[in-house]
Structure 1
Amino acid sequence: MTNHMPPLRWGVLGGARIAEHFTLPAMATSPHAVAHAVASRRAAAAQRLADRAGTARAYTTYQDLLEDPAVDAVYIALPNSLHTSWTLAALAVGKHVLCEKPLATTVDDVHRIAAAAREADRTVAEAFMYRTHPQFAALLQGIRDGVIGEVHNVEATLSFTLDDPDDIRMSPDLGGGSLLDLGCYLVDAANQVFGRGPHAGAGTVHREDNGVIVHTAGALDYGRGSAALLSTSFLLPWYESRLTVRGDKGSLVLDHCFNPGTGDGHLLRTSATGERFRVTHPGLDMYAAMFDHFARAVAGRPHVLPSLESSAQVQEALSLLGGGPA
């Protein structure tokens, strides 16, 4: 990444764990990001995050942060049901937005965000940090280079056991559920592999008594004999967040596609004759890389973050699988 771009001054909405332990520390290491302010409705939490990040300002309302003229861009780490409204609010005052996934809970809301972003002439991106890891870039390059021939099948799984009924991801009012929370990763990856969104699909879902989806298994049809088989769950034990891509000349596998952490990534290729090749890709802080890529997006330079069209395709696919909030 070039260092010639001026750093963006960030405001962080929400005191979620991902903001405190991942994104704020990442801003401290990225040459293209400065944590200028944080906002939490709990004053103590706002001040704790500000002190930890070394930022000068802590706000107790989100709107006050948005109205800070020194903030260039806003990172939204709020519950899913609040993503659309606060993305629109940030755009209304001229801020760029990086929003935690899922960007919205319906495809119509993604379209509303896209229209507002065009009107404001500002950048909005969904925070799929796994896209920045070299192992995923290598997988996509291998597909483009034809090392496994024509791709016909994707299998992806991501799950962990969530048995805390008070967790916000178990709340129907906050846009909870495993399909929105985890399934968006799988759909985003499948869409990138095939280079398009699916035109049909179906899934079976299991809901808690409050209506929140906690388990999904489904299939998406990408046409031309190509399909993705996806499984995501709050009921099953931890899986390796595996992505498998099969073509007519072999397969590519990432055992830790969606949560590789900062460690090395390992891409396994199996040829049509059964030969196996394992390539290690050096790890990195994906969150810091995400802020670097966002700065590139704002500057009109090549980046790996999803377009709003891509985010809409993810929501469309989730709806085919039975997704959306209860």
Structure 2
Amino acid sequence: MRDARHGPVRVGVLGCADIALRRMLPVLAAEACVELVAVASRDADKAARTAARFGCDGARGYDALLRRDDVDAVYIPLPPALHRHWITEALGAGKHVLCEKPLSTSYDDTLELLKLARSRQLVLAENFMFPHHSQHRAVRELLQEDVVGTVQVFSSSFGVPPLDPAGFRYRPDLGGGALLDTGVYPLLAAQLYLGGELEALGATLRIDERTGVDVAGTALLSAADGTAAQVSFGFDHSYRAHYALWGTRGRLTVERAFTPPEQLRPPVRIQQQDRVTELTLAPDHQVRNSVRAFAEAVVSGPLGPAEEELTLRQARLVEDIRLKARRFSHRPGPVWNAPDRTHQR
């Protein structure tokens, strides 16, 4: 394979999922650090239509794309239960991998995939986009300025309205469910701000009677020093994507934490004893930033121990919540209507 340092990273896409069509493919087609080479689908016509739309080649079948010598890396937007197989195939073909979250549906699979990538000196990255938005860097700087004092509690919620009932998110065999779809966002945010291993002290999951997947949940977490994290998530909610850090001197709240549109100037609210401060931060494009970070990793070398450890802690925490959750039956809500896509990733 050609050394990716000699030009833009040549990328192929396995599948024509909605997240790929709406968010990732437009960026992959426009960014100078990558070259969109081909998109694959099991449906040759769909591959051809998508390829024509984004100015690249179409490939019938994922294996056909992985056999191409002009592809350095692949982006995988498939349902979670398919990630393990196609990451393994892609790494076996010598391709770097950017995969939609979660990297796999179990801790053991995630561990084995990271080991395989490391043994082949290939980048394997989980495509959480929100940490690449500059608003979170601004929040960390505010925390360093001691605007809330010592953090005592982290709280976060990510919920979206009911989704298409025919989609993979309502199929247990494809890795559906709210924990793997929306729950992983506040869980990762808690880890990024509290640091170290978090323990799930308790959790709930509401299980849809018709489909068998969890459509909502909560978790109470604890850091090693006793700092608490409270998270809630689901896709049977009005839209919310927020987190808050409550400390000894105040409280800081971010209201569009996970899926801000690139033109949005994110609001941050700081509440102290005698003062409320409303900040408006600069807009940013977290999808573009995520693609650039992946391309940079391909050029500079495999992910380091810190990145791998964060991915493993995330997988371990998700599994812990599954094991400790108290499950409640949930009757299906209103019939799904086409959602406002402004809330989607």
TM-score, reference length from structure 1: 0.91
CA displacement, residues 179-212 of structure 1 (integer Å, 9 cap, x when unaligned): 1001111111110001223033321111123321
Partner residue, 2:337:
none
8 Å Cα contact 2:159/2:239 also seen in 1: yes
Cross-structure match for 1:35: 36
Match of 1:313 in 2: 313
Counterpart of 1:228 in structure 2 is 229
Which residue of structure 2 lines up, in the alignment, with residue 208 of structure 1? Answer: 208
- Partner-residue secondary structure (3-state), 1:51: helix
AA aligned opposite 2:38: A
User: Aligned pair 1:143/2:143, yes or no?
Assistant: yes
Q: Which runs of 4+ in 1 moved over 6 A?
A: none
Q: Is the 8 A contact 1:218 1:321 kept in 2?
A: yes
Give a deviation string over 1:137-164, Cα, whole Å, max 9, x none. Answer: 2112323443322212111111122254
Deviation at residue 94 of structure 1 after TM alignment: 1.0
In structure 1, what is the equivalent of residue 115 of structure 2? 115
Q: CA deviation at 1:268?
A: 2.4
Amino acid at match of 2:9: L
Aligned residues: 319
Task: Identify the range of structure 1 (243-252 vs 18-27) with the bigger mean alpha-carbon deviation.
Answer: 243-252
Contact 1:220/1:317 (<8 A) preserved: no
- Secondary structure of residue in 1 paired with 2:322: coil
**Which letter does structure 2 place at the counterpart of 1:114?**
L
Aligned equivalents of 1:141, 1:297: Cα separation in 2 = 25
Task: Could you tell me which runs of 5 or more consecutive residues in structure 1 were left unpaired when the two chains were aligned.
Answer: none
Q: Which residue number in structure 1 is paired with residue 87 of structure 2?
A: 87
* Percentage identity across paired residues of the two chains: 33
Distance in 1, matches of 2:98 and 2:274, equals 42
Is the alpha carbon distance of 1:144 and 1:83 closer, same or farther for their aligned partners in structure 2, counting shifts above 3 Å?
farther
Single out whichever of 123-132 and 162-171 deviates more from structure 2.
162-171
Aligned partner letter, 2:44: A
Q: Is the 8 A contact 1:264 1:280 kept in 2?
A: no
- Deviation by residue 1:237-257 (Cα, 9 ceiling, x = unmatched): 222x01111121222211000
Q: For 1:166 and 1:281, how far apart are their aligned partners in 2? A: 38
Residue equivalent to 1:252? 252
Q: Identify the residue that residue 25 of structure 1 maps to in structure 2.
A: 26
- Tell me the SS of whatever aligns to 1:242: strand
Name the counterpart of 2:238: 237
Q: 2 CA distance for matches of 1:257 and 1:26?
A: 21
Where do residues 54-69 of structure 1 align in structure 2 (5 Å cutoff)?
A: 54-55=55-56, 57-69=57-69
Q: Which residue of 2 aligns with 1:196?
A: 196
Alignment partner, residue 331 of structure 2: none
Asked if 1:154 corresponds to 2:121, the answer is: no
Distance in 2 separating the partners of 1:293 and 1:12: 17
Secondary structure of the corresponding residue to residue 288 of structure 2: helix
Report the CA distance shift for 1:157/1:184 in structure 2 as closer, same or farther (over 3 A).
same
In the TM superposition, 1:281-300 aligns within 5 A as: 281-300=281-300
Q: Secondary structure at the match of 1:261?
A: coil
Deviation at 1:269, TM superposition (A): 4.3
Once the 2 structures are TM-superposed, how far is the Cα of residue 285 of structure 1 from its aligned partner? 2.5
TM-score, normalised with respect to structure 2:
0.87
Instruction: Determine the C-alpha separation between the residues in 2 that align with 1:208 and 1:200.
Output: 23
Deviation at 1:301, TM superposition (A): 8.2
In structure 1, distance between residues paired with 2:99 and 2:264? 26
